[in-house]
Amino acid sequence: MKQQRHWWRSPLTGIPQQSRSAIALVIGLLSLLIAPPALAFCGFYVSQANASLYNQASQVIIARNGDRTVLTMANDYQGDVRNFALVVPLPTLIRQDQVQVSDPEIITRLDQFSAPRLVEYFDENPCDLPARGATRGGNPAQFDDADYATLAAGSHGVTVEAQFSVGEYDIVLLSAQESNGLEAWLRQNHYNIPAGTAPVLAPYIRQNFKFFVAKVNLTEFRANQRQRLRPLMMAYESPRFMLPIRLGMLNAQGPQDLIIYFLTPSGQVELTNYRTVQIPSDFNVPDFVQAEFGSFYNALFHTSHEQANREAGFLEYAWDMSWCDPCAAEPLSATELRKAGAFWVDAQGSGPTNPVFMTRLHLRYGRDRFPEDLSFQTTGNTQNFQGRYIIQHPYREPIDCPAAAGYYREVSDRQQIEAETLAHYTGWTEPEVNAKMNWLTPPSTESDPLRP
Amino acid sequence: MLKDARIAQISFLALFLLLGISTRDWTLRPELLAVLGASCLGMQWVTRSLLPTLRHQPGVKLWAIPSWESALITGLGLCLLLRGNTVATMALAGGAAIASKTLFQYRDKHFFNPANFGIIVALLLTPDAWVSPGQWGTQAWYLMLFVGAGGLVLRWVGRWETSAVFLATYAGLEAVRMFALGWTADVYLHKLMSGSLLLFALFMVTDPRSIPNARQGRFVWAAAVAWLAFLLQEEFFVSTAMFWALFALSPLTPVLDRVWPSARFQWQEPESCATAPSLIHGLGSLE
């Protein structure tokens, strides 16, 4: 355990614990909903399908190097903070100095940096071009090549291993001998846990998992006039590279979205007990998608999820963070990467001496297709990937040169393909898509009302 | 009926590869697949044609690749399983896989499964090699295809009991663990319905040339590999446990062959051991 001090620095302050009246329990992983700003991209970066799109989305950062893991759980708890509680099974026991609260902004940053994005390009006046049909940046193939890259302790066989406060949270670390005891303990301590909890707790207890239980310290929360709960961050060392999702399904209403940002020193992270699939990417979409990028990406994700039999995790982003050319957002600084948990990064350093590879996985899971907890592995895969969709705006000003006819034909064909592609990936019907299309039509020479 | 089960095996492995690429969203780089194939066939030529010619062994044709079918099976197996970033990693894996057949022999029989050896060498010696255990998912359609194709080939070569013992042991150990931990049946089924596990059981742990010759030996062997794979997977959390287990226990083959001596498997010997009817005769007569 001493080793961990070298990689987990946490100047934490203990805050006296207050009595609480927590009556509801949120078990599992919670999320943060954040709005995106617009940032420049090769072309014009116009929109983003960030985590705020999904109703029940959790966001988690997992930074892992060797057996050392820093887990950050975003918190979007919307109810009365008095009722907030969180129970997370951890494969090992952690001490107070291995827990801290994190800055919610870091999750926003990672989300912005990695969210599927829409980029736009504009056709130039075809009359200004040296050759007919050549449009600047108009060919998606060009983009492909450009790699941008106190509690009643001791009772019910439950042991309170540690008890402390971190920021606005009161935290208890429990170990238990049997699940009914743990369930009874939680109820005795006013955690209103869902029915059927004990059978799900049992496998964790038998694998010697510990339970990280957090509630809100109301005095601290009010004293600091906090508007929202900050993410909880914990560091531990375990050969298990996994995320428990079973507890979270107990009180879930339907499928849940989970976005995991992995930071590793080597390469992509993938699921080992479920499929990992790249989200369809790098295709042209009609320009009306700009106004409804959120619903477009939701439909695309839904269709892909259904096609994958609702049992795959989707890769939305994979990138070496030490470089990007150009970047989709301002690259994360070494300080920000450390904030996100990448403990191996030297705060002053940059570049290849501080390798960080980021993987963004998006899962939509339900009890039926995701019975097992998620297991991962870090691979040597350093291929970059991003969910990226392209709008190629047609030139809509009058065109006064012989190239006009050819250009209109070309754009007509292009828009037709864009409409079909959109319908294919989103599951939207073709009439639906066609009705929204902003077709480029040539100025009609036959619009003279006096003509028979 | 084909005289050589290897042709059937090549066809099935090629089919799986095409299915993986077309329906399982694998993002494979064609050049790396080509390197795997070329390095396997190339090393087969070096070890079976070039070196024997240089040593003036009689009856060796320099411009032929003897047993190219075996090399191709190894190449296809690597294409299905091994992932990497660089040509060098793939060439190393392919070359090492085939070279292991010559380098690690006991009484003229190699005891490492070539593809498995290539995978372990790449995992050990390069920073960029990996295996994706989740790549097939758990859809029943694929599992049935694997069982059908694998069953056919195994029936042919008379090694189906190796798969059966491996799977039964692994499933049994997992069942005990799941029951002891208190997980529900769907968690257990999800674990077992892994396409990767089935492919390993049907196409890798059954290689008739490198596993024990006698049926008793194969029982012990398959059970031991399953036990070690289970141990590495569940106690040490090694995601590529199966491959490490097979690698670690491969040197047991010569030992088991000494304990239970039997005739070696030949690919093209339809009357003695490579045909299905021999299975009917049960223990002893097969070999």
Q: What is the 3-state secondary structure (H, E, C) of chain A?
A: CCCHHHHCCCCCCCCCCCCCCCCCCEECCCCCCCCCCCCCCCCEEEEECCHHHCCCEEEEEEEEECCEEEEEECCCCCCCHHHCEEEEEECCCCCHHHEEECCHHHHHHHHHHHCCEEEEEECCCHHHCCCCCCCCCCCHHHHHHCCCCCCCCCHHHEEEEEEEEECCEEEEEEEECCHHHHHHHHHHCCCCCCCCHHHHHHHHHHCCCEEEEEEECHHHHHHCCCCCCCCEEEEEECCCCEECCCHHHCCCCCCEEEEEEEEECCCCEEECCCEEEECCCCEEECHHHHHHHHHHHHHHHHHHHHHCCCCEEEEEEEEECCCCCCCCCCCCCHHHHHHCCCCCCCCCCCHHHCCCEEEEEEEEECCCCCCCCEEEEECCCCCCEECEEEEEECCCCCCCCCHHHHHHHHHHHHHHHHHHHHHHHHCCCHHHHHHHCCCCCCCCCCCCCCCC
What is the reported pLDDT for B92?
97
What is the reported pLDDT for A327?
64
Structural domain includes residue B147: yes
**Structure token pair of residue A426:** 């989103």
Residue of B nearest to A209 (CA): B181
One domain, residues B99 and B148:
no
What pLDDT, in 10s, does the model give residues A85-105? Answer: 888 899 999 988 999 999 889
Instruction: Please determine, for residue B133, whether its predicted confidence score (pLDDT) is greater than 70.
Output: yes
Q: Which of B89, B106, B131 is the last residue of a domain?
A: B131
One domain, residues B202 and B219:
yes
Which region among A432-436, B55-59, B94-98 has the lowest average model confidence (pLDDT)? Answer: B55-59
What is the reported pLDDT for A324?
65
One domain, residues B125 and B161:
no
**Structure token pair of residue A170:** 């009161």
Mean pLDDT calculated for residue range B25-38: 91
What is the reported pLDDT for A321?
85
User: Does B134 touch chain A if contact means CB atoms closer than 8 Å?
Assistant: yes
The DSSP element (H or E) to which B105 belongs, if any, is: strand B105-106
CB burial class (10 A; 0-12, 13-18, 19+) of residue A4?
Answer: middle
What pLDDT, in 10s, does the model give residues B242-264? Answer: 999 999 999 999 999 999 888 77
Chain A segment 72-131 residues within 8 A of B by beta carbon are: none
One domain, residues B82 and B150:
no
List the one residue out of A395, A327, A384, A393 whose CA is nearest residue A360. Answer: A384
Mean pLDDT calculated for residue range A52-68: 82
**Structure token pair of residue A122:** 């504009």
CB burial class (10 A; 0-12, 13-18, 19+) of residue A181?
Answer: middle
What pLDDT, in 10s, does the model give residues B188-238? Answer: 999 999 988 998 998 888 888 888 988 999 999 999 999 999 999 999 999
Instruction: Please determine, for residue B277, whether its predicted confidence score (pLDDT) is greater than 80.
Output: no
Residue of A nearest to B236 (CA): A239
One domain, residues B21 and B80:
yes
What is the reported pLDDT for A39?
26
Query: Can you give the residue ranges of every domain in chain A?
Result: 28-436
One domain, residues B123 and B151:
no
Instruction: Please determine, for residue A243, whether its predicted confidence score (pLDDT) is greater than 60.
Output: yes
State the sign of the Cα–Cα–Cα–Cα dihedral A305, A309, A313, A314.
negative
List the one residue out of A25, A23, A99, A31 whose CA is nearest residue A362. Answer: A31
One domain, residues B9 and B126:
yes
What is the reported pLDDT for B265?
75
| List of chain B residues whose C-beta atoms are within 8 Å of the C-beta of residue A272 | 132-134, 239
One domain, residues B106 and B195:
no
| Rounded percentage of chain B residues whose pLDDT exceeds 70 | 92
CB burial class (10 A; 0-12, 13-18, 19+) of residue B123?
Answer: buried
What pLDDT, in 10s, does the model give residues A110-155? Answer: 998 899 998 888 988 888 866 543 333 333 222 222 322 244 444 6
Residue of A nearest to B178 (CA): A203
List the one residue out of A34, A53, A60, A52 whose CA is nearest residue A245. Answer: A60
- SS3 category, B70: helix
Residues A182, A191: Cα–Cα separation, whole Å = 11
Could you tell me the residue range of the domain that residue B13 belongs to?
A: 5-131
* φ, ψ for residue B235, nearest 5 deg: -105, -30
Which residue has 């014009």 as its token pair?
A44
Residue B117 CA, chain-centre distance (Å), reads 10
Residues A261, A317: Cα–Cα separation, whole Å = 9
Which region among A257-261, A308-312, A444-448 has the lowest average model confidence (pLDDT)? Answer: A444-448
Looking at the partner chain, which of B189, B191, B237 has a beta carbon nearest the beta carbon of A239?
B237
What is the reported pLDDT for A349?
62
Torsion of CA B183, B184, B185, B190, to 10 degrees: -70
| Rounded percentage of chain A residues whose pLDDT exceeds 90 | 47
Q: Which band of pLDDT confidence, cut at 50, 70 and 90, is reported for residue B113?
A: very high
Q: Which of B81, B97, B131 is the last residue of a domain?
A: B131
Q: Distance (Å) from the C-alpha of residue A433 to the closest C-alpha of chain B?
A: 26
What pLDDT, in 10s, does the model give residues B72-93? Answer: 999 999 999 999 999 999 999 9
List, in sequence order, every residue forming a beta bridge with A263; answer none if it has no partner.
A63, A358
Residues A260, A376: Cα–Cα separation, whole Å = 11
List the one residue out of A272, A269, A196, A247 whose CA is nearest residue A90. Answer: A247
What is the reported pLDDT for A13?
26
What is the reported pLDDT for A255?
87
Structural domain includes residue B149: yes
Structural domain includes residue B78: yes
What is the reported pLDDT for B26?
85
Is the bond preceding residue A326 a cis peptide, omega within 30 degrees?
Answer: yes
Q: Say which residue, A324 or A182, is predicted with more confidence.
A: A182
- Taking CB atoms and an 8 Å cut-off, how many pairs form between chains A and B? 83
Residue of A nearest to B123 (CA): A380
Reported ipTM: 0.87
Mean pLDDT calculated for residue range A319-326: 74
Structural domain includes residue B284: no
Q: Say which residue, A353 or B5, is predicted with more confidence.
A: B5
Does the distance separating the beta carbons of A240 and B83 come in below 8 Å?
Answer: no
Structural domain includes residue B274: no
One domain, residues B125 and B18:
yes
Q: Say which residue, A8 or B160, is predicted with more confidence.
A: B160
What pLDDT, in 10s, does the model give residues A63-75? Answer: 999 999 999 998 7
Q: Which band of pLDDT confidence, cut at 50, 70 and 90, is reported for residue A445?
A: low
* Exposure of A411 in the CB half-sphere (CA atoms within 13 A): 27
Mean pLDDT calculated for residue range A234-258: 88
Q: Which residues fall within 8 angstroms of residue A429, CB to CB, at 6 or more apart? A: A423
User: Does A381 touch chain B if contact means CB atoms closer than 8 Å?
Assistant: yes
What is the reported pLDDT for A161?
92
Structural domain includes residue B117: yes
- SS3 category, B110: strand
Residue of A nearest to B29 (CA): A383
Does the distance separating the beta carbons of B134 and A276 come in below 8 Å?
Answer: yes
User: Does A377 touch chain B if contact means CB atoms closer than 8 Å?
Assistant: yes
Instruction: Please determine, for residue A23, whether its predicted confidence score (pLDDT) is greater than 50.
Output: no
User: Does A427 touch chain B if contact means CB atoms closer than 8 Å?
Assistant: no
Looking at the partner chain, which of B27, B180, B187 has a beta carbon nearest the beta carbon of A371?
B187
Does the distance separating the beta carbons of A309 and B239 come in below 8 Å?
Answer: no
**Structure token pair of residue A172:** 């208890």
User: Does B133 touch chain A if contact means CB atoms closer than 8 Å?
Assistant: yes
Q: How many domains in chain B?
A: 2
What pLDDT, in 10s, does the model give residues A348-389? Answer: 765 556 789 999 999 999 888 999 999 999 999 999 999 999
Q: Which band of pLDDT confidence, cut at 50, 70 and 90, is reported for residue A328?
A: low
Instruction: Please determine, for residue A1, whether its predicted confidence score (pLDDT) is greater than 60.
Output: no
Distance of CA B180 to CAs A178, A204, A326, B185, Å?
13, 11, 53, 12
